[in-house]
Amino acid sequence: MKIFIDPPNSLILFDLVERFGHEPLGAMAPIQDRIDKIELDMPPMNVTLDDVVKGLKYAGIEVPSGIRGRLALWGPLIDIADAAITMSEPPFNFGCVGCERSNEMVRYLIRRRGIPHLIIGYPEDGDEAKAVVGQIKEFLEGLK
């Protein structure tokens, strides 16, 4: 099954989903696709007209461009996801958590899809980390 991870660039969540036999949907593949495209030859000019149109599918024109840009990457992943895992209240060095408005839109899109969604808190110590891994394992095994 395809599992959207949030924060979308969390290597920890990506690895756990993959270890439990599912396909993680994170930010890495769409970003790699954009880097490899010939038409995007000089960052930061890495947005095409198609990206702008995609972003408008998920957020209106009045929404800041950074949010629409993120949703142009993440929205299509949410559209194809069978389930999602969200890490709530992570520190700023755990994936892309700096834009709370983007995070709110991602959570809204997940809820709107109605797919199974595990929300876990960021672990503060080793025991909590073990519990989080157990919750993720139980959630993913329950999807099969």
pLDDT band at 139 (very low <50, low <70, confident <90, very high): very high
Give pLDDT, residue 90: 74
> Which strand (E) or helix (H) includes residue 133?
helix 126-142
Give pLDDT, residue 19: 95
Residue that wins the pLDDT comparison between 46 and 99:
99
Domain of 60 in residue numbering reads as: 2-143
Overall number of domains in the chain:
1
Measured between alpha carbons, how far is 10 from 12 in angstroms, rounded to an integer? 5
How many beta carbons lie within 10 A of that of residue 43, not counting itself? Answer: 8
pLDDT band at 14 (very low <50, low <70, confident <90, very high): very high
89 phi-psi bin (left φ>0, alpha ψ -120 to 50, beta other)? left
pTM of the model: 0.85
Q: Which residue has the tokens 């989903």?
A: 17
Q: Which of 40-49, 84-93, 123-132 has the lowest mean pLDDT?
A: 40-49
